[in-house]
Amino acid sequence: MTLTVFRSLRSLALALLWIGLFAARAHAHGGIAGPDELGPPVITSAVLGLGGYWLMQLWPSRGRRLDNRKRKRRVAR
């Protein structure tokens, strides 16, 4: 159990370090964009991504050709 706790804490520390480095770098190069600038593109991409995902999930599949059914019946005998 100690090993898993150590690994989890190590991963968390590494993630926080990366976030801190990228935030400092973004701030040094003109600041981090606020919600007014990032909000609409992020919301639009999320809606398009979810819509595309569900469109593909709910898209009707092609029916099997009759030839395939006949072939399967012949092989099953």
Structure confidence by residue, pLDDT tens digits, 26-67: 665 566 666 677 678 888 989 999 999 999 988 887 766 666
13 has pLDDT over 70 = yes
Per the rule left: phi > 0, alpha: psi between -120 and 50, beta: everything else, 59 is beta
Evaluate whether 49 touches 55 at the Cβ level (below 8 Å).
no
Non-local (6+) Cβ contacts of 1 within 8 A are: none
Question: What's the predicted TM-score (pTM) here?
Answer: 0.40
| Helices within 1-77 (DSSP H only) | 2-28, 35-58, 66-76
Evaluate whether 33 touches 42 at the Cβ level (below 8 Å).
no
Residue 23 is predicted with a pLDDT of: 74
User: What three-state secondary structure class fits 64?
Assistant: coil
If pLDDT is split at 50, 70 and 90, which confidence band does 74 have?
Answer: low
